[in-house]
A and B are shown apart, each in its own frame.
Chain A
Amino acid sequence: MNKLRYGQSIVLILFIMLAACKEKTAPVEAKTEEELLVEKALEIHKRILTLDTHADTPLRMIEPGFDMAERHDPNETGSKVDYPRMKEGDLDAIFFAAFVAQDIRDDDGNTRAKALCLQMIDSVVASTERNSDIVGLALDPDDAYELEKEGKRAIYIGIENGYPIGKDVSNVSLYYDKGVRYITLVHSSNNDLADSATDPNGPEHGGISEFGNKVVDEMNRLGIMVDVSHGNDSVFYDAIKMSKAPIIASHSNARSVTKHDRNMTDEMLKLMADNGGVVQLTMLADYLREAPPNAERDSAMAALRAGMKPISEMTKEERTELRKTFQELNEKYPAPPATVTHVADHIDHIVKIAGIDHVGIGCDFDGGGGIEGVFDASEVMNITIELVKRGYTEEEVAKIWGGNLIRVFKEVQKVASDLQSDQS
């Protein structure tokens, strides 16, 4: 009924506008059900808090001359997040993760990792200060809502890879004081805290190390969220046991939907629900769907390679021409993309196994994230549209887009407050 009244009003307004213009135009067609659904989804998207828990944008911030206040073309530069595109996509809040690649685990390596991590954190803080008219540094859960009311984007800070903690647990409080509110214990290789899901040498500690346990204790005491993404399965089980507060997976998907060691099994999803934590779905194509074969491209490439003369006999001009031909083939036969449908399939599955209170979104923009339809921060509303199309209510969409993460964040702070009270 409301829809009918709304539609009638639109037609009336358009009729008046057309009459005023006194120009011949095509007749106005009523909106389709699909268009009305999209409109409803966009209104929901605007009303709710939208929070993305994982972007490697600090890597962009160390690019000389990169300005977060400028809009960048993702197809030109590969950049996925800047402040204008956050506004376009109605993305209200984001965690920028300071990432330092795993290197040598000795005193020199640890010292350097710490210096590099602090440089990245300082870059984020400086960016928020330079752009204080449009963004603000967020430290507490409610800051996201406060900044949204002011019309500003909330910028939280995380650390991806506990390597910069080195072997000194006091570094955790240093990072907390700098504004860090979650730490991903490990990245693509094992470190002194924990085992990685993807270290080619296999596990080293059997999950979280003794030192890693101390780090988790300190994170609990301070109110830093424990992030198990990138850890192997044992890291997840250890974190569940060790942490006194709920944990998060800042960018991980469901393994039942897409088989990948970085994704979480149904048993883990159920335990995450029991823990009160949250799994933040990520937009990495390989974690969202198994790449389908691209036989036409493969056979065209093989034919081209078969006709090539030895590389060492080619001139520079011939190599340049060949590169162009290969690129044309890639464009002619693109790999079938991951889409927002895959994203929603994962969300549906996590909701089915863990419940609506334990799923969120962590796109991993600027760290490999970005799929067709959600290629950068300006397109995140397409997730909401797909969820609304699948029947998710506004309340449910709000939980997925930030409500669940904020609930965990508050619980983590409460546990910290209790622990600090007990100590005093």
Chain B
Amino acid sequence: MIRLFFVLIALGIAKPVIAHPLRLSLCEIEYHSNKKLLSINLKLFLTDVNEAIVFDPYSKELAFCQPNESANADQLLLEYLNRFFHVKINGKLVDLKVKRKKLSGEGDNTALWVYFEYRQDAPLSTMEIKNAVFTDLFFDQNNIVYVHVNGESKSLMLNKKTAVHQLKY
């Protein structure tokens, strides 16, 4: 049976699969109690953002960070992010409002950086992060989350299966 299983795989008929490029996004969350400042930065591939929002990876319709950026680009972006991403501080949902955006890189590797910033007076006791961005597009999407709180750094990987995680302080 084991041999048969191996032979089936060897002949390429065990399961029809296709190759997948790396599907990754990066999120950095930072909090300094002395500055009472919470910042959230998302680094997303622009092709993924366009695919998610306007169903076309190479669409120029929203023109993020361009002089002709669509008037509803931020609104559509936030609508999408609110479905797949959140941060809760001490149990309270952070209201996502884009502070600034920028593009970096070129071609398929162009990244859209989205910055959020908040005043956070109360000390952190818990931080809940949900990051399932693009898991509606790609089953193998992985989202790296770096959390820096008062000089302590921690990394997490969130995806479709494990979309939410809570850190305690």
Q: Is A151 interfacial (CB 8 A cutoff)?
A: no
- On chain B, the residues within 8 Å of A119 by CB distance are 153-155
Q: Is B67 interfacial (CB 8 A cutoff)?
A: no
Q: Determine the residue in chain B with the shortest Cβ distance to A386.
A: B10
Q: How far is the CA of A76 from the CA of B162 in the complex (A)?
A: 12
Minimum Cβ distance to chain B for residue A54 (Å): 13
Tell me which of B12, B17, B106, B155 contacts A62 (CB under 8 A). Answer: B155
Whether A59 pairs with B144 at a CB distance below 8 angstroms is yes
State which residues 155-198 of A face B: CB under 8 Å.
188, 198
Whether B159 pairs with A38 at a CB distance below 8 angstroms is no
Q: How far is the CA of A115 from the CA of B155 in the complex (A)?
A: 9
Q: Is B95 interfacial (CB 8 A cutoff)?
A: no
Whether A64 pairs with B156 at a CB distance below 8 angstroms is yes
Residue count of chain B within 8 Å CB distance of chain A: 50
- On chain A, the residues within 8 Å of B18 by CB distance are 334-335, 337, 372
Q: Determine the residue in chain B with the shortest Cβ distance to A35.
A: B7
Q: How far is the CA of A373 from the CA of B12 in the complex (A)?
A: 6
Most buried by B among A65, A75, A311, A338: A311
- On chain A, the residues within 8 Å of B6 by CB distance are 38, 42, 381
Tell me which of B10, B16, B72, B165 contacts A312 (CB under 8 A). Answer: B72
Most buried by A among B16, B141, B157: B157
Binary interface encoding of chain B residues 95-109 relative to chain A, with 1 for a CB under 8 A from any of its CBs, else 0:
000000000111001
Q: How far is the CA of A55 from the CA of B142 in the complex (A)?
A: 15
Q: Determine the residue in chain A with the shortest Cβ distance to B140.
A: A78
Whether B162 pairs with A65 at a CB distance below 8 angstroms is yes
Tell me which of A66, A312, A372 contacts B12 (CB under 8 A). Answer: A372
Q: Determine the residue in chain A with the shortest Cβ distance to B21.
A: A368
Tell me which of A65, A198, A326, A372 contacts B55 (CB under 8 A). Answer: A326
- On chain B, the residues within 8 Å of A308 by CB distance are 55
Q: Is A116 interfacial (CB 8 A cutoff)?
A: yes
State which residues 90-133 of B face A: CB under 8 Å.
104-106, 109
Residue count of chain A within 8 Å CB distance of chain B: 57
Q: If A78-B159, A200-B106 touch, does A112 touch B21 (CB 8 Å cutoff)?
A: no
Minimum Cβ distance to chain B for residue A330 (Å): 9
Whether A38 pairs with B7 at a CB distance below 8 angstroms is yes
- On chain A, the residues within 8 Å of B142 by CB distance are 59, 78
Binary interface encoding of chain A residues 312-338 relative to chain B, with 1 for a CB under 8 A from any of its CBs, else 0:
100000000011001000000011011
Q: How far is the CA of A111 from the CA of B151 in the complex (A)?
A: 9
Question: How many inter-chain residue pairs (CB < 8 Å) link A and B?
Answer: 126
Binary interface encoding of chain A residues 284-298 relative to chain B, with 1 for a CB under 8 A from any of its CBs, else 0:
111000000000000
Q: If A78-B141, A338-B19 touch, does A198 touch B162 (CB 8 Å cutoff)?
A: no
Minimum Cβ distance to chain B for residue A314 (Å): 10
Q: Is A305 interfacial (CB 8 A cutoff)?
A: yes
Q: Is A51 interfacial (CB 8 A cutoff)?
A: no
Whether B21 pairs with A286 at a CB distance below 8 angstroms is yes
Minimum Cβ distance to chain A for residue B132 (Å): 13
Q: Is A379 interfacial (CB 8 A cutoff)?
A: yes
Whether B17 pairs with A311 at a CB distance below 8 angstroms is no
State which residues 1-58 of B face A: CB under 8 Å.
3, 6-7, 9-12, 15-23, 26, 28, 53-56
Q: How far is the CA of A218 from the CA of B135 in the complex (A)?
A: 42
- On chain A, the residues within 8 Å of B162 by CB distance are 63-66
Q: How far is the CA of A288 from the CA of B49 in the complex (A)?
A: 27
Q: Is B84 interfacial (CB 8 A cutoff)?
A: no
Minimum Cβ distance to chain B for residue A205 (Å): 19
Minimum Cβ distance to chain B for residue A220 (Å): 30
Q: Is A367 interfacial (CB 8 A cutoff)?
A: yes
Q: How far is the CA of A75 from the CA of B26 in the complex (A)?
A: 22
Tell me which of A63, A115, A198, A286 contacts B157 (CB under 8 A). Answer: A63
Binary interface encoding of chain A residues 115-153 relative to chain B, with 1 for a CB under 8 A from any of its CBs, else 0:
110011000000000000000000000000000000000
Whether A75 pairs with B10 at a CB distance below 8 angstroms is no
Q: Determine the residue in chain A with the shortest Cβ distance to B136.
A: A323
Q: Is A275 interfacial (CB 8 A cutoff)?
A: no
Residues of B participating in the A interface, judged by any CB pair closer than 8 Å: 3, 6-7, 9-12, 15-23, 26, 28, 53-56, 61, 72, 76, 104-106, 109, 136-137, 139-142, 144, 146, 148, 152-162, 165
Q: List 6 A-B contacts (CB under 8 A).
A: A63-B157, A63-B159, A75-B139, A78-B23, A101-B144, A120-B155
Residues of A participating in the B interface, judged by any CB pair closer than 8 Å: 35, 38-39, 41-42, 59-60, 62-66, 74-78, 100-101, 103, 111-112, 115-116, 119-120, 188, 198, 200, 284-286, 301, 305, 308, 311-312, 322-323, 326, 334-335, 337-339, 367-368, 370-373, 375, 378-379, 381-382, 385
Besides A75-B15, A77-B140, 17 new A-B residue pairs in contact (Cβ under 8 A), listed by A number: A39-B3, A41-B10, A63-B158, A66-B157, A66-B162, A74-B17, A77-B139, A101-B146, A103-B28, A111-B153, A119-B155, A305-B56, A308-B55, A323-B136, A334-B18, A372-B12, A381-B6
